[in-house]
Amino acid sequence: MVFSLRKSAHKLFHRQDTRQAGVLVFAQMASQLLLLATLPLLSRLYKPESFGEHAAFLGLATLIASVLGLGYRTGIYLAGGAREVSATYQLCFWISAAMGLVVAGILAGIEATSLWTPFKTAPLPSMLMLAVSALLLGHQTSVDALHGRHGNYRAIGWGKFNITLIPGVCQILLALTPLQAIGLNLGRILGQVGVTAIAEGALPRRARLLPWRRPDWLGMRIVARRFADNIWQLPRILLARGGSALLPLVVAAGYGAAAAGLFFFADRVVARPAQLLSDAVSRIPLRNFAERIRQRKPLVRLALGYSVAAFAVGVPPFVLLLVFGERLFAVVFGPGWADAAHLAVILSAPAAVKLGTMPVGALIPALRIHTSSTLLELLFFPRIFLILVASVLGHGLLTAMLWLALATIIYDVVMFVWALRGGLRHDRALAAAPRLPPTA
Mean pLDDT of the chain, nearest integer: 77
Domain ranges of the chain: 17-226, 231-440
Find the mean pLDDT for residues 382-395.
Answer: 89
CA distance 76 to 210: 15
Helix axes 153-174, 123-149, angle to 10 degrees: 160
| 17 or 110, higher pLDDT | 110
Residue 335 has pLDDT above 90, yes or no: no
Q: Indicate if the pLDDT at residue 19 is higher than 70.
A: no
Q: Are 332 and 41 in contact (CB under 8 A)?
A: no
- What is the sign of the dihedral through the CA atoms of 152, 244, 236 and 355? positive
Residue-wise pLDDT tens digits, 57-82: 888 888 888 777 777 777 777 777 77
Residues 310-332 have a mean pLDDT of 72
- Local confidence band at 407 (pLDDT 50, 70, 90 cut-offs): very high
pLDDT tier at 282, thresholds 50, 70, 90: low
Distance between CA atoms of residues 183 and 175, nearest Å: 6
Count of C-beta atoms within a 10 Å radius of residue 197: 12
Q: How would residue 436 be classed by pLDDT, with cut points 50, 70 and 90?
A: low
Rounded-to-integer distance, Cα 343 and Cα 362, Å: 28
| Cα(355)–Cα(361) distance, integer angstroms | 10
| Interhelix angle 48-68/181-201, nearest 10 degrees | 40
Say yes or no to pLDDT of 392 above 80.
yes
What does the pLDDT read at residue 5? 38
Q: Say whether pLDDT at 15 is over 60.
A: no
- pLDDT score recorded for residue 439: 53
**At 410, is the pLDDT very low, low, confident or very high (cuts 50, 70, 90)?**
very high
**Mean pLDDT confidence for 260-277:** 71
pLDDT of residue 8 exceeding 50? no
Average pLDDT over residues 257-282: 70
pLDDT of amino acid 111: 67
Residue 278 has pLDDT above 70, yes or no: no
Supply the pLDDT for residue 279. Answer: 61
Least confident of 272-276, 332-336, 408-412, 436-440: 436-440
Say if residue 372's pLDDT is above 80: no
The CA distances from residue 401 to 275, 336, 357, 376, 412, in Å, are 17, 20, 21, 22, 16
Residue 8, CA atoms < 13 Å, CB-side half-sphere? 5
pLDDT beyond 70 at 277: no
Where is average pLDDT lowest: 51-55, 161-165, 208-212? Answer: 208-212
How long is the chain?
A: 440
User: Which pLDDT value is given to residue 403?
Assistant: 92
- The per-residue pLDDT for 3 is 45
Is the per-residue pLDDT at 14 higher than 60? no
Asked if the model's pLDDT at residue 230 lies above 60, the reply is: yes
Residue 199: alpha-carbon gap to chain centroid: 17
* Eight-class DSSP state of 435: P
> What is the band of 9 on the pLDDT scale with cuts at 50, 70, 90?
very low
SS3 59: helix
Nearest Cα neighbor of 160 from 281, 266, 258 is: 281
* Cα 280–Cα 233–Cα 192 angle in degrees, nearest 5: 45
Q: Which residues contact 299 (CB under 8 A, 6 or more apart)?
A: 289, 292, 293, 363, 366, 367, 423, 426, 427
| Residue 348: exposure state from Cβ atoms within 10 A (0-12, 13-18, ≥19) | buried
From 1-10, 107-116, 245-254, 426-435, the region with the lowest mean pLDDT: 1-10
Q: Are 186 and 174 in contact (CB under 8 A)?
A: yes
Q: Where are the beta strands (DSSP E) in 282-408?
A: none
> Long-range CB contacts (< 8 A, 24+ apart) of 230-233?
230/70, 230/71, 230/72, 230/74, 230/75, 230/365, 230/368, 230/370, 231/70, 231/71, 231/72, 232/71, 232/370, 232/371, 232/374, 233/71, 233/74, 233/365, 233/370
More confident residue, 276 or 338: 338
For the cut 80, the answer to whether the pLDDT of residue 218 exceeds it is yes
Residue-wise pLDDT for 144-160, tens only, equals 888 877 777 777 777 77
Residue 406 has pLDDT above 90, yes or no: yes
